[in-house]
A and B are shown apart, each in its own frame.
Chain A
Amino acid sequence: MTAHTHDPQNKAAAYVNGAMAGRTLGRFETHLLACEQCWREVQLEQEGRRVAETGRELAPAFLREQIRALVSVSASAAPRPSRSLPKLAAAAVLLVAVLLGVWLSRPTGPPEQPAQIAAATDAYRSGMTVSGPAQRLAPQLRGVGLELVTSGRIRLAGTPVDAFTYRAAGGSLLLLFVSQSAFPQANGAHPATSDMAAGWSARIDGLAVYCGSHPVNYLIVSADNAQVDQARAAVAHEPSTHT
């Protein structure tokens, strides 16, 4: 190798990354034995690669579940605003949402909901951001045809709650929120039994909502009334909610 072609960094890069072959490789390996500069470049690159490889991370498990749920929602017939809408479309959606909000909040419209309840129904329609793993085990609702797709810790209007997303065979979703503290009562709620404190149900902007307080404080949101009824019965008898 002549001084004219001596290029330690590029040669080392090609060597370490397996981009050399045949006689070029043989010549460079012979050269390496005599050239301190090239030897150092090769060593540095190998060390740097080892350092870089120690930075490998595993994606958090909840992210995997979130993606399953996102794909599931996107693939289902239920319309859902996408997070990847172009800005213009997103702005248009926002404008429509604002106008709709103004229209809905007119005196003759449906009553405004407590922040936690509104956040729960928003989460059903627009998805939610999980901040960590759920503190409780997810209640198993397979007995009523609901498969768990995500679980995690979220904040509902500032209150930390465990959130579980379930999917029915037909693709429809059901959200279950479990909290240490009682959920506020929705405006327009009806007692599920003769005692309002034992549980209430409400129809909020096309969604069925049920709130129970036994054995834990929980809130169920779904577009399907019957699904909510089945889930609430299952939750009440699910061992994980009794911890």
Chain B
Amino acid sequence: MSDDGFLDRTLGAMDLVYNIARRLTPRREDAEDLVQETYLRALRAWNEGRRPDRPEPWLATICLNLGRSEYRRRVHRPLEVDIDAFDVAGPADQLESAVLADLDRRAVHASLWALPAEQRIAIALVDLAGLSTREAAHVMGTPKGTVLSRLHRGRRSLALMVESQVRERRP
């Protein structure tokens, strides 16, 4: 018995699923488990005749639902940061590209985890997984305007966090 084309259609979206999973659970190992669980659930649905036109939003939905239910209970609630705690005075300087390039991925990951969950998920779906805002809205089960708002607040907080880090690095 074969997988009936399941892997051919879905394996290309694995980086997308992995990036979402990494923002649903803080431990890398849990994210890997979540990716596997997502594929097993998807395979089951596939074998029951589900054949989505685009596998990316479909897998994202499964991953998000699993992450919200099973995995949320297992992990600590992330630290949520009040953006008012950052200095927002003055116009936003364009971040030097060298400094931005210097930011390692771990720092970005930590900054993402400092965001409220729904903002982090919106960013994961759109900026990291590459879904459109319409698809992200469908996956999150919210109006598109809500996704736009979450994206804006999340990105704004990220920018302010990085600004703050850049200021700290400056002599």
Contact = CB atoms under 8 A, between A and B. Distances in A.
Contacts of A14: 148
- The secondary-structure label for the interface of chain A is helix
Given A45-B159, A66-B36, A171 B1 contact: yes
Interface residues of B, number: 56
A10 B32 contact: no
A41 B156 contact: yes
Interface in A54-82: 54-60, 63-64, 66-68, 70-72, 74-77, 82
Interface stretch (B37-45, B48-56, B74-82): B37-45
Interface in A25-56: 36, 40-41, 43-56
B39 A71 contact: yes
Contacts of B91: 36, 40, 43
Interface residues of A, number: 46
A66 B36 CA distance: 8
B159 A77 contact: no
Contacts of B152: 9-10, 12-13, 16, 41, 45
Interface string B114-149: 000000000100111000010000000000110011
A51 B158 contact: yes
Interface string A110-137: 0000000000000000000100000000
Nearest to B136: A17
Given A56-B128, A71-B39, 18 more contacts: A17-B151, A44-B92, A47-B162, A48-B154, A48-B155, A49-B155, A51-B108, A52-B123, A54-B100, A57-B105, A58-B15, A59-B14, A59-B17, A66-B32, A70-B39, A70-B40, A74-B3, A84-B40
Interface string A69-111: 0111011110000111000000000000000000000000000
A182 interface: no
A63 B157 contact: no
Interface of B: 1-4, 6-7, 11, 14-15, 17-19, 22, 29, 32-33, 35-37, 39-41, 43-44, 91-92, 94-95, 100, 103, 105, 108-109, 111-112, 123, 126-128, 133, 144-145, 148-149, 151-160, 162-163
Interface of A: 9-10, 12-14, 16-17, 19, 36, 40-41, 43-60, 63-64, 66-68, 70-72, 74-77, 82-84, 129, 171
